[in-house]
Amino acid sequence: MSKYDIIVLGSGPGGYVTAIRASQLGLKTAIVEKESLGGVCLNWGCIPTKALLKSAQVFEYLKHANDYGLSVNEFDKDFSAVVKRSRGVAEGMSKGVQFLMKKNKIDVINGFGKLKPGKKVEVDGKEYSADHIIVATGARSRELPSLPQDGKKVIGYREAMTLAEQPKKMIVVGSGAIGVEFAYFYNSMGTDVTIVEFLPNMVPVEDIDVSKQLEKSFKKSGIKIMTSAEVTKVDTSGKGVKATVKTTKGEEVLEADIILSAVGIKSNIENIGLEDVGIAVDRDKILVNNYYQTNIPGYYAIGDVTPGQALAHVASAEGILCVEKIAGMHVEALDYGNIPGCTYASPEIASVGLTEKQAIDKGYEIKVGKFPFSASGKASASGAKDGFVKVIFDAKYGEWLGCHMIGAGVTDMIAEAVLGRKLETTGHEVLKTVHPHPTMSEAVMEAVADAYGEVIHL
């Protein structure tokens, strides 16, 4: 039986990052993967979707070339080539992870791993043991009883990335990050898209102003939006699919070629031996402490299988913290109140900290500032005037409580707010930090100036 210091179950951005950090710390490490290195994020999620979205953005540029004083007489899209490019990007990233495993001398064990008592993992009949076993098996598309996925007419995100033909009509159920990103992509490619959202607002975890702006931008792009609506029944017996949608006004039947179910995720915790070992689970999540130890010594869990935010960068941070604690380093528990969230539709969305409503509900007296990109020189020059930056500060001490952005490139701007909050920056300090001009990022400074009644360009 092979013996390791660390065995990691799953090679997504939680698992492979954990394995590399463990190896850097001198721990003999192995990683178990049943499919492709890189997990869902690299192969079926974060990376290939961004490749699809980039193709959509380029296509949008071509469609609006006249707005930039350019004349493009003939252009078209090749849907299969767009999908092929996305798959190529994913394959390249997966090969990159293979290289990193070799570089860091990590043993890759291919197959389905199952936990065993006594700090062991069984992979396709062969047993391996370790002092520490870390579960990082991630999650998959969640299915609703009223919306069973058949992989053909009712699909999840995996099928949405590799359709052989572009649908003429699509219904997207759910308006979280996955739903709105695919809605934007398919709409840009020319598909007639309708979004059905159960809650009153799109992207319901975001600040209400962001939700309203996205809805406005999407409607301008031709996407139909139904909020406070629920798909109660689907009929796939005909050529396409019919969805019965319950709204505040009654029932309506929508017809489409395909329904994309984007109603959240389900943790991959079945059949991996949790019950055999006695690891505690609550509501689809493995219970862990601040350092990702389960109730059974020697077994840990990180990423989407635990109660924290289901985000790739969260899984990576948790894995690094977990193995550094195992290695005896002094580590601080992760601050889940300072995790940035990003949505890569167009316009992009990025946020961190409290929304305005959450801050008020917590009893803060607040200063709120908002700067629209319509007043930004760089945004005007770029032809990307939709959106804004919104900041929320504690009026008493100047603490930066929240930052919410919607617009072009904002996912690359949010790190300023995350770092500022980590360093306990005040509104006054942000305001007196010189930002470069002309940039999209100076909208952060302008929004802070608005909060303190000192805005110049508005």
Q: Which residues contact 74 (CB under 8 A, 6 or more apart)?
A: none
Structure tokens at 415: 């790190």
Is 177 marked as binding a ligand? yes
Angstrom distance (rounded) from CA 449 to CA 271: 54
Is 455 marked as binding a ligand? no
Q: Are 433 and 372 in contact (CB under 8 A)?
A: no
Is 304 marked as binding a ligand? yes
Residue entry with tokens 């709105």: 180
> Cα 255 to chain center, whole Å?
29
Structure tokens at 292: 């990702």
Is 174 marked as binding a ligand? yes
Is 156 marked as binding a ligand? no
Is 387 marked as binding a ligand? no
Phi, psi of 123 (to 5 degrees): -125, 110
Angstrom distance (rounded) from CA 179 to CA 263: 8
Is 264 marked as binding a ligand? yes
Selecting among 132, 428, 435, 437, the annotated active-site residue is: 437
Is 235 marked as binding a ligand? no
437 as an active site residue: the answer is yes
Is 424 marked as binding a ligand? no
Is 181 marked as binding a ligand? yes
Give the per-residue SS3 of the chain. Answer: CEEEEEEEECCCCCHHHHHHHHHHCCCCEEEEECCCCCHHHHHHCHHHHHHHHHHHHHHHHHHCHHHHCCCCCCCCCCHHHHHHHHHHHHHHHHHHHHHHHHHCCCEEEECCEEEECCCEEEECCEEEEEEEEEECCCEEECCECCECCCCCCEECHHHHCCCCCCCCEEEEECCCHHHHHHHHHHHHHCCEEEEECCCCCCCCCCCHHHHHHHHHHHHHCCCEEECCCEEEEEECCCCCEEEEEEECCEEEEEEECEEEECCCEEECCCCCCHHHHCCCEECCEECCCCCCECCCCCEEECHHHCCCCCCHHHHHHHHHHHHHHHCCCCCCCCCHHHCCEEECCCCEEEEEECCHHHHHHCCCCEEEEEEEHHHCHHHHHHCCCCCEEEEEEECCCCEEEEEEEEECCHHHCCHHHHHHHHCCCEHHHHHCCCCCCCCCCHHHHHHHHHHCCCCCCC
Q: Are 229 and 409 in contact (CB under 8 A)?
A: no
Active-site positions read 437
Binding residues for FAD: 50, 113, 304
Binding positions for NAD(+) are 174-181, 197, 264
Binding-site residues: 50, 113, 174-181, 197, 264, 304
